[in-house]
Amino acid sequence: MPKLLLPFDGSESALRAVRHAISIALYFGDISAPPPPAPGRCDGIVMGTRAKSDRQDRGLGRVQAGVVDLVQVPVTFVR
């Protein structure tokens, strides 16, 4: 089971990201909730996006572009 970082702010887009992360966990057959990983120790990031930016044609807002630029693991954005 990959270790996923799941930022959550209570928004509807964050809830969709949680549902997607749960589907990943069910696919791998592991739905346990271990303690949060230490910084830099996750295998991927799953986060929601609101797509309310002038960069909608690229599909990335300012925060999403910053995350992609800063991390070295796969990032999944859920709309």
Q: Give the model confidence (pLDDT) of 4-48 as tens digits.
A: 888 888 889 899 999 998 888 888 876 666 666 566 678 899 998
40 CB-side CA count, 13 A: 0
Could you list the residue range(s) of the whole structural domain that residue 19 is in? 4-31+41-78
pTM of this prediction exceeds 0.85:
no
Q: Has residue 53 been placed in a domain?
A: yes
Q: Has residue 62 been placed in a domain?
A: yes
What is d(CA 76, CA 79) in angstroms, rounded to the nearest whole number?
Answer: 10
Q: Has residue 36 been placed in a domain?
A: no
What would you report as the CA-atom Rg of the chain, rounded to the nearest whole angstrom? Answer: 13
Q: Which amino acid is at 71?
A: V
**Pairwise pLDDT comparison (73 vs 4), residue with the higher score:** 73
Q: Has residue 60 been placed in a domain?
A: yes
Q: Is the pLDDT of residue 59 over 70?
A: no
Domains in the chain: how many in total? 1
Q: How confident is the model at residue 74 (pLDDT cuts 50, 70, 90)?
A: very high
pLDDT given at position 46: 92
